[in-house]
Amino acid sequence: MLVVIVGPMFAGKTTELIRRVERQMIAGKTAVIFKPALDSRYDASSVVSHNGLKLRAFVVPSDEDGVRIIEREGAKYDVVAVDEIQFFPPSLAEVLDRLAYGRLVVAAGLNLDYKGEPFETTMRAMAYADKVVSLTAVCKVCGRPATRTQRLIGGKPAPADGPRILVGGAETYEARCRRHHEVPGRGIRP
Ligand SMILES: [Zn+2]
């Protein structure tokens, strides 16, 4: 079974991912979690302890090598979790689909980039999913449910011509609803 958890930043996707894995571990299943390393180093494994349960965690490159590691290592466990799936290439979706025969696979990822455009890997994984869990955050402007991630640079909405992934820069992010999500230069407003 493949469960895909989607939503904007600050929607609690990782918490929901871990919650679902922990339930299986309490039931005696073996579990592993994979996360992407954005600097493409293979930081091997660590063990995360929580509530007396031990969960093996791998940080893998966010490229085809990482996808191969997830396929090879994931096959050894009853439950496979993958966080931040939007950073992996779209081929991850087929791997998740294959692994989901005979085990539970839980994947979490951003639905849309800061411009409001779909991440291909999340989109493909959602298409293969047996269940999609769509989470919302809270809009920083109006307090209503937020489905989008606002990128701010120097406190102002980031323009549409920026890079899709920005790590470690001066930018910040907040959750916004459709009405308050601003992308100067994208030109989709009526
Ligand atoms: Zn709003």
- Residue predicted with more confidence, 112 or 167: 112
Q: Which helix (H) or strand (E) holds 174?
A: strand 171-176
CA 12 to ligand 1 center in whole angstroms: 18
Q: What are the catalytic residues?
A: 84
Q: Is the pLDDT of residue 190 over 90?
A: no
pTM score, two decimals?
Answer: 0.91
- Structural domains in the chain, CATH included, are 2-136 (3.40.50.300), 138-176 (3.30.60.20)
Place of tokens 């109006």: 142
pLDDT in tens, 44-73: 667 666 667 778 899 999 999 999 999 999
CA 127 to ligand 1 center in whole angstroms: 28
pLDDT in tens, 134-170: 999 999 999 999 999 999 998 999 999 988 888 666 7
CA 181 to ligand 1 center in whole angstroms: 7
pLDDT number for residue 147 = 97
Between CA 136 and CA 147 the distance in angstroms is 5
